[in-house]
Amino acid sequence: MSSQYNNPTLTGKSILFADDELHWIEGLIEVATAEGCEVLTCRNASRAIQIVKSRSIDCIVLDVMMSPGSDFPNADPQKGGFVAMEEIFKLKPRQSIVCLSVLSDQNEIDRLKKRNVLFLRKAETSLKKVWQTIEYKLTGLYRDRSA
Protein backbone atom coordinates (compact mmCIF):
# COMPACT_ATOMS: atom_id res chain seq x y z
CA MET A 1 0.00 0.00 0.00
CA SER A 2 2.87 2.41 0.66
CA SER A 3 3.78 2.56 -3.02
CA GLN A 4 0.27 3.85 -3.70
CA TYR A 5 0.62 6.58 -1.06
CA ASN A 6 4.38 7.17 -1.05
CA ASN A 7 5.20 10.66 0.18
CA PRO A 8 8.74 11.12 1.56
CA THR A 9 7.74 14.32 3.40
CA LEU A 10 5.84 12.14 5.89
CA THR A 11 8.89 10.30 7.21
CA GLY A 12 9.31 11.06 10.89
CA LYS A 13 5.96 12.85 11.29
CA SER A 14 4.14 11.83 14.46
CA ILE A 15 0.50 10.80 14.56
CA LEU A 16 -1.51 10.06 17.68
CA PHE A 17 -4.51 7.81 17.11
CA ALA A 18 -6.86 8.29 20.08
CA ASP A 19 -9.72 5.80 19.80
CA ASP A 20 -11.23 3.31 22.22
CA GLU A 21 -11.77 0.87 19.36
CA LEU A 22 -8.41 0.77 17.61
CA HIS A 23 -9.46 -2.25 15.55
CA TRP A 24 -11.61 0.10 13.43
CA ILE A 25 -8.55 2.05 12.35
CA GLU A 26 -5.92 -0.68 12.01
CA GLY A 27 -5.63 0.05 8.28
CA LEU A 28 -4.80 3.70 8.95
CA ILE A 29 -2.19 2.73 11.49
CA GLU A 30 -0.61 0.37 8.96
CA VAL A 31 -0.54 3.05 6.24
CA ALA A 32 0.97 5.62 8.62
CA THR A 33 3.64 3.16 9.68
CA ALA A 34 4.41 2.19 6.07
CA GLU A 35 4.83 5.89 5.24
CA GLY A 36 7.50 6.23 7.92
CA CYS A 37 5.35 8.10 10.43
CA GLU A 38 5.85 7.62 14.13
CA VAL A 39 2.57 6.17 15.38
CA LEU A 40 1.27 6.47 18.92
CA THR A 41 -2.05 5.11 20.14
CA CYS A 42 -4.27 5.50 23.17
CA ARG A 43 -7.80 4.58 24.16
CA ASN A 44 -9.09 7.52 26.23
CA ALA A 45 -8.96 11.29 26.63
CA SER A 46 -6.80 11.27 29.77
CA ARG A 47 -4.04 9.33 28.03
CA ALA A 48 -4.26 11.48 24.86
CA ILE A 49 -3.74 14.61 26.92
CA GLN A 50 -0.80 13.04 28.79
CA ILE A 51 0.85 12.20 25.47
CA VAL A 52 0.33 15.71 24.08
CA LYS A 53 1.78 17.22 27.27
CA SER A 54 4.88 15.06 27.03
CA ARG A 55 5.84 15.52 23.39
CA SER A 56 5.15 17.20 20.08
CA ILE A 57 2.53 15.52 17.89
CA ASP A 58 2.11 16.56 14.25
CA CYS A 59 -1.47 15.30 13.89
CA ILE A 60 -4.06 13.73 16.17
CA VAL A 61 -6.73 11.43 14.79
CA LEU A 62 -9.41 11.55 17.44
CA ASP A 63 -12.63 9.65 18.08
CA VAL A 64 -14.87 11.97 20.10
CA MET A 65 -17.04 9.08 21.29
CA MET A 66 -14.55 7.46 23.64
CA SER A 67 -13.97 7.31 27.38
CA PRO A 68 -12.76 10.49 29.09
CA GLY A 69 -10.46 8.38 31.29
CA SER A 70 -9.67 8.61 34.97
CA ASP A 71 -8.68 12.30 34.94
CA PHE A 72 -12.23 13.40 34.07
CA PRO A 73 -14.66 11.37 36.23
CA ASN A 74 -17.55 13.81 35.72
CA ALA A 75 -17.34 13.98 31.92
CA ASP A 76 -19.87 12.26 29.67
CA PRO A 77 -18.53 8.69 29.37
CA GLN A 78 -19.26 8.67 25.64
CA LYS A 79 -17.83 12.10 24.75
CA GLY A 80 -14.28 11.94 26.07
CA GLY A 81 -12.91 13.09 22.74
CA PHE A 82 -14.48 16.51 23.26
CA VAL A 83 -12.77 16.71 26.65
CA ALA A 84 -9.46 15.77 25.01
CA MET A 85 -9.93 18.28 22.22
CA GLU A 86 -10.65 21.20 24.56
CA GLU A 87 -7.73 20.36 26.86
CA ILE A 88 -5.35 19.87 23.94
CA PHE A 89 -6.32 23.22 22.42
CA LYS A 90 -5.63 24.89 25.79
CA LEU A 91 -2.12 23.42 25.67
CA LYS A 92 -1.53 23.79 21.93
CA PRO A 93 -4.06 26.09 20.25
CA ARG A 94 -2.86 25.26 16.74
CA GLN A 95 -2.74 21.48 17.16
CA SER A 96 -3.77 19.65 14.00
CA ILE A 97 -6.73 17.32 14.69
CA VAL A 98 -8.82 15.09 12.45
CA CYS A 99 -11.97 13.70 14.04
CA LEU A 100 -12.85 10.20 12.86
CA SER A 101 -16.05 9.17 14.59
CA VAL A 102 -19.60 7.84 14.24
CA LEU A 103 -20.86 11.13 15.64
CA SER A 104 -24.18 12.12 14.08
CA ASP A 105 -25.33 15.21 16.03
CA GLN A 106 -24.97 18.12 13.61
CA ASN A 107 -24.50 20.66 16.44
CA GLU A 108 -21.52 18.68 17.72
CA ILE A 109 -20.11 18.33 14.20
CA ASP A 110 -20.44 22.12 13.79
CA ARG A 111 -18.62 22.53 17.13
CA LEU A 112 -15.70 20.55 15.70
CA LYS A 113 -15.64 22.56 12.50
CA LYS A 114 -15.58 25.85 14.44
CA ARG A 115 -12.40 24.60 16.11
CA ASN A 116 -10.87 23.86 12.69
CA VAL A 117 -11.13 20.12 13.29
CA LEU A 118 -11.79 18.14 10.14
CA PHE A 119 -14.64 15.65 10.66
CA LEU A 120 -14.87 12.33 8.84
CA ARG A 121 -17.49 9.71 9.53
CA LYS A 122 -15.99 6.40 10.65
CA ALA A 123 -17.02 3.39 8.55
CA GLU A 124 -18.49 5.67 5.85
CA THR A 125 -15.29 7.36 4.66
CA SER A 126 -12.85 5.31 2.62
CA LEU A 127 -9.40 4.53 3.96
CA LYS A 128 -7.96 6.40 0.99
CA LYS A 129 -9.96 9.56 1.78
CA VAL A 130 -9.13 9.43 5.49
CA TRP A 131 -5.41 9.00 4.78
CA GLN A 132 -5.53 11.82 2.23
CA THR A 133 -7.03 14.08 4.92
CA ILE A 134 -4.40 13.09 7.49
CA GLU A 135 -1.66 13.63 4.93
CA TYR A 136 -3.05 17.10 4.20
CA LYS A 137 -3.02 17.93 7.92
CA LEU A 138 0.58 16.69 8.18
CA THR A 139 1.98 18.46 5.14
CA GLY A 140 -0.43 21.26 4.26
CA LEU A 141 -0.52 19.88 0.71
CA TYR A 142 -3.53 18.32 -0.96
CA ARG A 143 -2.70 15.55 -3.40
CA ASP A 144 -5.52 14.29 -5.61
CA ARG A 145 -5.14 10.55 -6.08
CA SER A 146 -8.34 9.97 -8.02
CA ALA A 147 -6.42 9.27 -11.24
75/93 Cα distance (integer angstroms): 21
Residue 7 has pLDDT above 50, yes or no: yes
Residue 144 placed within a domain = no
Name the more confident of 144 and 77.
77
- Summarize pLDDT for 118-139 with one digit per residue, the tens: 999 988 999 999 999 999 999 8
- Summarize pLDDT for 77-101 with one digit per residue, the tens: 889 999 999 999 999 999 999 999 9
Average pLDDT for the chain: 90
Number of domains in the chain: 1
Residue 97 placed within a domain = yes
- Summarize pLDDT for 10-65 with one digit per residue, the tens: 999 999 999 999 888 999 999 999 999 999 999 999 999 999 999 999 999 999 99
Beta pairing, strands 97-101 & 118-121: parallel
Residue 104 placed within a domain = yes
Residue 118 placed within a domain = yes
Residue 145 placed within a domain = no
DSSP class of 66 = S
Q: Look up the domain containing 75 and give its range.
A: 2-139
For residue 13, give the CATH number of its domain.
Answer: 3.40.50.2300
Residue 147 placed within a domain = no
74/72 Cα distance (integer angstroms): 6
Residue 50 placed within a domain = yes
Q: Is 53 left (phi over 0), alpha (psi -120 to 50) or beta?
A: alpha
- pLDDT recorded at residue 22: 86
- pLDDT recorded at residue 2: 40
Residue 20 placed within a domain = yes
β strands within 1-147, DSSP E: 14-18, 38-42, 59-62, 97-101, 118-121
Query: Please, how many CA atoms are within 13 Å of residue 43, restricted to the half-sphere of its CB?
Result: 6
